[in-house]
Chain A
């Protein structure tokens, strides 16, 4: 199925909802790994919005990427509670373990603040990490 058709389907699936854009963007991001300029244009056309309006929304939120990143991603919490448990001192080794192969991204709070440092890979959460377990998590990503 062409991208145009698929995005048309996604938009149609959410069209009846009140304020459908965010659910649409989530599904497009899920399907194509990003919401690129082409997708923005297609969504805009389907919703009868301007491309600028759609781009404004896409670029506002951290979750939507302009380009796909095929690397596995590990999100590491860098917020206060995990800082208090020493995540910052583990980051050098985490970077080393990741190299160019794994994408490390900062996330501000996974809600596991009483058992930090915490990280997320896909739908799986990890808590009470130390330098070793964080590095092995990244190496096995």
Chain B
């Protein structure tokens, strides 16, 4: 009798919900268990795959039923599942299909062909193709990758570096983690192609310490494929729990072994980056998209997808209080409503959606009234929001947006590198201000003048305190200062969640009465 081949993911999320024990149970039953990457249907993890058919979420109690074909966990053919069938997977083409560290699987699915072709066509042609594909930085800023590479290629330096930003600190995002754990060679291939393009022989992957599985797999993958990418070399570095190190210049400082403080730009890292040398800093998803683009005709295929100036596909991450959470890679242009309601299936709790935060902790909160917004860098910018790293966090109607706004400031204060004043001090003042506003929810708000303000020497201090409206105005003003005065996106974008929460859910800050008095309406109010 031939052994049944059972495929179970060894992605960190699958393991966190019991995939290891499940794999062991199938092995005990005499099955040949293959640990693959995750399909990205996280609500079905641990997902068991036998002959292309899926069973999930599977528990130890389901093992016998799955093997005998009587399990009620069956979801049919995985490839035909609507969540998978609707996607256009380019960057995540191998998700669920290959064993992450198997060089055989990687080569068998077209691996290294982008690098081979890159080596044949040479630097200029590589950069030309990446530029033509329209690939933009997937880390959040959306800067065209080809232009960055061109700058580094033209810069003069005795050595150049490729740095992969894998410090995926944004809550609601996990695509970098899945990429590194599920298809590590694709990222390494992308880095080697970038090295080929700009003339760099050394690459660093800076992974956050919160991702133990990704660190382990990337270290192993870098060893196993060293002979293939040589003379290019990849070294894995581990962060130390500083969110701000996801900012590129702060990351470079951290790699150099100093405090992860943000550097002023210019000079751009492309000119003076790591150890003062020309450096490409790209996100995991940007670099992982490159092998496909460098494949035969890949650049044109990529460019044909998407809309406006947002070309190709974006691995979108559906997270938070969502029924069908996971990884959804699609061409730009999909609406937020489709993502949350059709694909995501609404909230996990079954309650109405109150808010959706797009783009991580620094992204704006959008109400269901804005669900027709399309996934596109420019459309989000126009709506005072951002795509960021493509994370979508859903909240149901029990969420208190006042406390979420406070958390945004609190997070900024805890994670600020301290270099610039608007971020370092502004965030602390922001917490205090929001605390006062929230404390005044029942009493009508406002603030009495304190002893210092009342003293005669404080000639310019107002002697009558502030009304609730004035406190809100002060918060808006503070956000303005942070937005335009901060050195990097941490202080600069923290106002997005705060101001969007304030704009759409004022009643969560000041109570119904003041919100109504101030704005005349209470959009997204009770029951909305």
Contact = CB atoms under 8 A, between A and B. Distances in A.
Interface of A: 17-23, 25-26, 53, 56-57, 60-64, 77, 79-86, 107-116, 118, 120, 123, 125-128
Interface of B: 12-13, 15-17, 42-43, 45, 168-174, 176-177, 209-213, 235, 237-243, 254-261, 275, 317-322, 325-326, 348, 357, 360-361, 391, 393-396, 398-399, 404, 407, 411, 415, 417
Contacts of A22: 237-240, 254-255, 257
A16 to B, nearest CB: 12
Contacts of A77: 171
Given A80-B393, A85-B321, A86-B398, 7 more contacts: A22-B239, A63-B209, A63-B239, A79-B171, A80-B404, A83-B407, A109-B173
Given A61-B240, A126-B16, A111 B275 contact: no
A87 to B, nearest CB: 11
Nearest to B254: A22
Nearest to B204: A18
B240 A64 contact: yes
Nearest to A80: B171
B171 A81 contact: yes
Contacts of A115: 13, 16-17, 42-43, 45, 325
Nearest to B415: A108
Contacts of A113: 171-174, 317, 319-320, 325, 391, 393
28 contacts: A18-B275, A21-B257, A25-B240, A26-B238, A60-B259, A60-B417, A62-B241, A63-B209, A80-B393, A80-B404, A81-B171, A81-B391, A84-B320, A84-B393, A84-B396, A85-B348, A108-B411, A110-B210, A111-B12, A112-B13, A112-B174, A113-B174, A113-B391, A114-B13, A114-B320, A114-B322, A116-B319, A126-B16
Contacts of B209: 26, 63
A19 B242 CA distance: 17
Contact of A57 (B235, B257, B398): B257
Contacts, number: 158
A87 B404 CA distance: 13
Given A19-B275, A112-B12, A81 B320 contact: yes
A116 B318 CA distance: 12
A104 B237 CA distance: 26
Given A83-B404, A84-B395, A125-B12, A57 B275 contact: no
Contact of B177 (A19, A56, A111, A127): A111
Contacts of B360: 80
Nearest to B344: A114
Contacts of B395: 84
Contacts of A111: 12-13, 168, 173-174, 176-177, 210-211
B326 to A, nearest CB: 5
Name which of A111, A116, A120, A128 has the most chain B CB atoms within 10 A of its CB.
A111
A57 B242 CA distance: 11
